[in-house]
C-alpha cells in the first residue's frame, strides 16, 4: 500500500498561509541559502501530488505561471469546478477521502498531500495521512490559515525524524 504524506510548511504559530492565502514568507533565516533541502530528498519517493483548487490556482497564477511545477508527477486537483484535465493534471470532483484511499491501493510511489486546508482537514479527521512532514518556518504570523483546525478526537503520532537548516526545522511524524 502506498504511503500518504502531508509535506507542508507552517509558521511557528501554526499557519500555512496568511489570511489572503499568500505564502511570501516561506523562507529560512538567510534568503541566499537553499531552503529546498528536504523537498529534494522527499520528492524522490513521490509520483502523485494532491491539492485543492486554491493551491493549484496560486501555483499557476503567482508562483509558477510559466510552467507547471510538478510536470514529473501525476497531479490531482480536487475542485467543485468541472474542468478538463491535461497531460498529467486531473481535476476531481468527489470525496477526497474515498479518492485517496483508492489511490493508496494502486501501484506506485508515495502520495503527496500538498495543500490546502480544505483538502488536509478531512484527511486528518479520517486518519488517512501516514506521515506528517512539517517544515516549521522561523516566523510568527499572528493570524492566517491554520494547519490544524478544531479536531473532534485526539490523534497520537510518533516522531520519526527531525532536522534543522537555515532556521527551518523539519518535523517528521508517523501515524501510530
Residue 4 near residue 129 (C-beta atoms within 8 A): yes
> CA angle, 88 as apex, 134 and 67 as ends, to 5°?
75
Section 82-93 average pLDDT: 92
pTM score, whole prediction: 0.94
pLDDT at 80: 92
Q: Please give the pLDDT value at position 136.
A: 97
Residue 6: pLDDT over 90: yes
CA gap 128, 124 in Å, rounded: 6
Q: pLDDT digit string (tens) for 140-174?
A: 999 999 999 877 778 999 999 999 999 999 999 99
pLDDT of residue 36 exceeding 80:
no
In the chain, what are the domains? 2-16+33-173 (3.40.430.10)
Quick check: 87 pLDDT over 90?
no
Q: What is the pLDDT of residues 60-81, one digit of tens each?
A: 998 899 999 999 999 999 999 9
Place of cell 493551491: 55
Check if the beta carbon of residue 138 is closer than 8 Å to that of residue 168. yes
Amino acid at each position: 500500500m502506498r504511503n500518504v504524506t502531508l509535506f507542508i510548511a507552517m509558521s511557528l504559530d501554526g499557519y500555512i498561509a496568511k489570511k489572503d492565502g499568500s505564502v511570501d514568507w516561506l523562507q529560512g533565516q538567510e534568503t541566499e541559502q537553499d531552503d529546498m533541502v528536504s523537498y529534494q530528498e522527499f520528492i524522490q519517493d513521490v509520483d502523485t501530488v494532491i491539492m485543492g483548487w486554491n493551491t493549484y490556482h496560486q501555483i499557476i497564477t503567482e508562483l509558477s505561471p510559466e510552467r507547471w511545477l510538478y510536470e514529473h508527477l501525476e497531479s490531482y486537483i480536487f475542485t467543485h469546478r468541472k474542468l478538463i484535465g491535461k497531460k498529467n493534471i486531473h481535476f476531481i470532483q468527489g470525496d477526497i477521502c474515498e479518492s485517496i484511499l483508492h489511490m493508496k491501493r494502486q501501484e506506485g510511489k508515495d502520495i503527496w498531500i500538498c495543500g490546502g486546508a480544505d483538502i488536509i482537514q478531512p484527511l486528518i479527521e479520517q486518519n488517512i495521512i501516514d506521515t506528517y512532514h512539517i517544515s516549521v518556518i522561523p516566523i510568527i504570523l499572528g493570524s492566517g490559515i491554520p494547519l490544524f483546525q478544531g479536531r473532534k478526537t485526539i490523534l497520537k503520532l510518533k516522531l520519526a525524524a527531525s532536522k534543522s537548516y537555515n532556521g527551518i526545522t523539519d518535523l517528521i511524524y508517523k501515524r501510530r
